[in-house]
């Protein structure tokens, strides 16, 4: 069973040229198999093209068309449209959405590159969170880069309980138990109910580790 929570796609009304970003989350089962999935939504940039900026206007039209294709489940068409969009004008939202499609298609290196390009233009907690999930889904998982990405996400949204939970899960998997316990407790206080069981589990690991060390030092 996967420890990482699933990511659901969510969009704002199509009448607007913007859609909120997608989020990857990590959930709750034993520490052995941690495979993240996609979590909240896909995005487009809040840019408003000026009357003479035909490049940005064209990029946003393609972005809207790509989002419609994504909503219809046509990932290949969505990828082609998003790729054309960032070719016409590189935007954070265009790269973000391209990352969502590449992730869903299982092209993790391409998803990572797209989200890194999105972050370079406009850092966001959602892009960093998704990047962390992509690193953990990679074969082999890249925990150090995932930790960096989720730490960056938390620096942008320090009270986000999902980010706290996700980072705690990876830290637990790398035996950073004290910090993981702190973050699980914060995540539980922030409304992530499954974090309570994880906190108890990590607390037991810490106690067992302490008792073992004391026994070895006698």
Q: In the chain, what are the domains? A: 24-157 (1.25.40.10)
Q: Are 109 and 97 in contact (CB under 8 A)?
A: no
Q: How confident is the model at residue 54 (pLDDT cuts 50, 70, 90)?
A: confident
Question: What does the pLDDT read at residue 48?
Answer: 52
First to last CA, the chain: 39
Write out pLDDT tens, residues 104-137: 999 999 999 999 999 999 999 999 999 999 999 9
* Cα distance between residue 22 and residue 153, in whole Å: 13
Please report where in the chains the tokens 């969510």 appear, as a residue: 10
Q: Are 150 and 10 in contact (CB under 8 A)?
A: no
Q: How many CB atoms lie within 10 A of CB 212?
A: 10
The reported pTM is 0.80
Of residues 80 and 18, more confidence is placed in: 80
Residue % of the chain over a pLDDT of 70:
76
Write out pLDDT tens, residues 143-196: 999 999 999 999 999 999 999 999 999 999 999 999 999 999 999 999 999 999
């Amino acid at each position: 069973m996967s420890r990482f929570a699933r990511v659901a796609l969510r969009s704002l009304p199509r009448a607007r040229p913007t859609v909120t970003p997608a989020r990857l989350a990590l959930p709750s089962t034993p520490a052995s198999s941690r495979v993240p999935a996609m979590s909240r939504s896909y995005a487009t940039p809040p840019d408003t093209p000026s009357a003479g900026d035909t490049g940005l206007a064209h990029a946003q039209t393609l972005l809207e068309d790509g989002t419609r294709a994504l909503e219809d489940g046509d990932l290949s068409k969505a990828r082609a449209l998003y790729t054309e969009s960032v070719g016409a004008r590189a935007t954070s939202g265009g790269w973000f959405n391209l990352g969502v499609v590449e992730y869903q298609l299982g092209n993790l290196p391409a998803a990572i590159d797209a989200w890194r390009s999105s972050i370079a233009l406009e850092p966001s907690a959602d892009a960093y969170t998704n990047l962390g999930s992509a690193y953990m889904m990679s074969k082999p998982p890249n925990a150090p880069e995932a930790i960096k990405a989720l730490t960056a996400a938390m620096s942008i949204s320090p009270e986000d309980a999902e980010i706290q939970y996700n980072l705690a899960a990876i830290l637990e998997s790398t035996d950073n138990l004290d910090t993981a316990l702190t973050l699980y407790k914060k995540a539980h206080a922030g409304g992530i109910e499954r974090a309570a069981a994880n906190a108890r589990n990590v607390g037991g690991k810490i106690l067992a580790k302490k008792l073992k060390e004391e026994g070895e030092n006698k």
